[in-house]
Structure 1
Amino acid sequence: MHSTSPANDLESIARRGSPLKRMAVRIPTYLADIRENPTWLPMFVLARTMPFRRMHWLVTKNRPVSDGNAGQSLFAGIEQEAVVRALKAEGLFADLRLPDAIHQEIAAFARTTPCFGNFDRKLEFLAPDHARAEQQYGRSILSGHFFERSLDCNAVLAAQHDPLLTDVARHYLGGQARIITTRIWWTFPTKSASEADLSRASFKYHFDLDDWRMLKFFFNLVDVDDSTGPHVFIKGSHRKRAVKHQLTLLVGHPADEILRYYGKDSAVTLTGKAGSGFVEDPFGFHMGTAPTEKPRLMMEIGFGVSKPSRRRFHGEPVLR
């Protein structure tokens, strides 16, 4: 039996213990981010506050946005104006749909291409062999990411470069919007997960802070119901933020605290058939939920206004 000790897994260490300990473990990653892009530090410190976010929106040079899509979109019948209007009001638009041929091709790719468990390139396996992989590696495996392998799938590339997505991003974020992340990943139900394991995944309300302004498109690549670990988003939390949630270096907060401030009715659970999709402003609070019966397979295409990291793929804690 092969075994990878959690003590040697940077992300495992980073997700355990106190918030300060988790941040301390990530200091080498933060320092590397600063060396690669010195503007990362002011963004990381200031972009969590509403006044500085508004200031950045006002002072950032904004390239003109051309009207109309360059090419035919996969998303027939969806108007850019309606999507942007919903994003500005609620931070969410939930009526996207991938063509059957596209989402089926991506799902087939994800079942036949090895993924990496728990963000660790040493834990490589095929998704249908998940139970066997947990036995082989002697640990719980909650997620399976493909990193750069996601871009080996032509259907992923077709979705990534769809003109509607780019049009929406540029009208919402500004003309400088660019793709900063594209990924497909599995989230697995597992009976052997400890509390430390569960804390590794995004199973608590949080907001993303990878850039000053972001937009993320998500697509379900399998049928998702309450047992498949659906995504949850807090409507309106992208433009309304408690002072407590701005004056802290932590991005994650307990569910009862979030729902008490933003209201239980603001929480939207995003279930749907394979191919269904939505777009959100990830500065709004959101979370994944843990699958209890069936694995979830999703695709994310993210846009931002700054250069993406060249050193690692989305979520990967390993410095290379």
Structure 2
Amino acid sequence: MFVLARTMPFRRAHWLTAMRVSPSATAAESMFGAIRATDVASELRKTGIFTGLTLPAPIHGEIARFARETPCFGNFDRKLEFLAGEHAEAERRFGRAILSGHHFERVLQCEAAVAVQKDPLLLDVARHYLGGEAKLITTRTWWSFPTKNASDAELSRASFKFHFDLDDWRMLKFFFYLSDVDADAGPHVYVRGSHIRRRIKHQLTLLVGHPAQDVLGYYGEDSATTLTGKAGTGFVEDPFGFHMGTLAKTAPRLMMEVGFGVSRPSRRRYHGEPVIR
């Protein structure tokens, strides 16, 4: 999969195996209101992204409170444990730059986060887009921190350049901002349409990350959507399309992801978060 799924002919062949799903006669009640899964799936097929999701204030407020009060792990390292509000002190204590802080399996201790991952709209969208075999595979929350201590090498290893995900043949990821995100707080960027067309040289390399000028020179500058918004802002994307996180410059960004896929759990799919079987 890791080799073949990057090529468009093999991806298209795998999409042909997707189980068809009929529109639901009655939609289950969702915290996101009267959004139709078929409409979301239709937009995803065209552009790779849908941006019309909003978490209710009590939900995103509770998850944010949990994230502030629950220790996270810096740079995916369980030895670097600290509270988000103590980020600067943690960098001094550990003697290194800390760009991110993940809660890993602790996210499942937050009832509001679990309610989001179980919301019926998410699975309905995933089934209409990925096929009837779509299933929940992962949930995670994490902080992205501003830091003046990161080296160029550390920044280059982070997701601050356009890349695409190859964790499954077919995937869908829902993202929710749990803090206000402006241009200086690490907004997510997605290249519309790049999930269904791919430059030949991007298919014939094992690299998944590419310079912005290389990607936008092919897909066009206007294809890149920078997603900013207040806490609660949500969107869903096909992560095979080119995307990237940007560096948080002035304020930390708190984010939640709920992912769906079609294959059996694979160790390389996960980043320390709980494996949902």
TM-score range, shorter chain: over 0.9
Partner in structure 1 of residue 224 of structure 2 = 267
Alpha-carbon distance in structure 2 between the residues aligned to 1:73 and 1:301: 15
Counterpart of 1:80 in structure 2 is 37
Aligned to 2:270: 314
Identity of aligned residues (%): 67
Q: TM-score, normalised by structure 2?
A: 0.95
Letter in 1 for 2:239: P
| Matched AA of 1:51 | P
Residue correspondence of structure 1 range 160-309 to structure 2 within 5 A: 160-309=117-266
Displacement, 1:71? 3.2
Cα deviation per residue 1:250-299 (whole Å; 9 max; x = unaligned)? Answer: 10000110010000000000000000000000000000000100000000
Greater fraction helix: 1
What are the superposed Cα offsets for residues 206-237 of structure 1, whole Å, 9 maximum, x if unpaired? Answer: 00000000000000000000010000000000
State the distance in 1 between where 2:13 and 2:2 align: 15
Specify whether residues 208 and 44 from structure 1 end up closer, same or farther in structure 2 by C-alpha distance, changes over 3 A only. same
| 8 Å contact from structure 1 (residues 186, 297) kept in 2 | yes
Q: Deviations over 1:59-116 (max 9, x none)?
A: x362645625663101013121221111000001001000000000000000000000
What one-letter code is carried by the residue in structure 2 that aligns with 1:246? Q
User: What amino acid is aligned across from residue 271 of structure 2 in structure 1?
Assistant: G
Aligned 1:18-97 pairs, distance under 5 A = 43-58=1-16, 60=17, 62=19, 64-65=21-22, 67-68=24-25, 71-97=28-54
- Is the contact made by 2:105 and 2:272 (CA closer than 8 Å) also made in structure 1? no
One-letter code of the match for 2:231? Answer: A
2: CA distance between counterparts of 1:130 and 1:264? Answer: 35
What is the TM-score of this pair, normalised by structure 1? 0.83
Work out the CA distance in 1 between the residues paired with 2:174 and 2:86.
28
In the comparison of the two structures, how many residue pairs are matched? 273
Shift of 1:170: 0.1
Whether the aligned pair in 1 keeps the contact of 2:168 and 2:269 (CA below 8 Å) is no
- 1:106 equivalent to 2:58? Answer no
Q: 2:13, 2:122 → 1: CA distance?
A: 26
C-alpha deviations, 1:105-163, integer Å up to 9, x for none?
00000000000000001100000000000000000000000111111100011000100
Q: Displacement of 1:180 after TM fit?
A: 1.2
What is the alpha-carbon distance in structure 2 between the residues aligned to residue 194 and residue 253 of structure 1?
19
Distance 1:189 1:68 in 2: 47
Question: SS of the counterpart of 2:6?
Answer: coil
Question: Does the 8 A contact of 1:150 with 1:183 survive in 2?
Answer: yes
For 1:164, what is the secondary structure of its paired residue?
helix
SS of the counterpart of 1:279?
A: strand
Asked if the contact 2:76–2:100 (Cα under 8 Å) also holds between the matched residues in 1, the reply is: yes
Unaligned runs of 5+ in 1: 1-42
Q: Distance in 1 between matches of 2:161 and 2:240?
A: 14
Structure 1 residues 146, 65: closer, same or farther in 2, change over 3 A?
A: farther
- The 4+ residue runs of structure 1 with deviation greater than 6 A are none
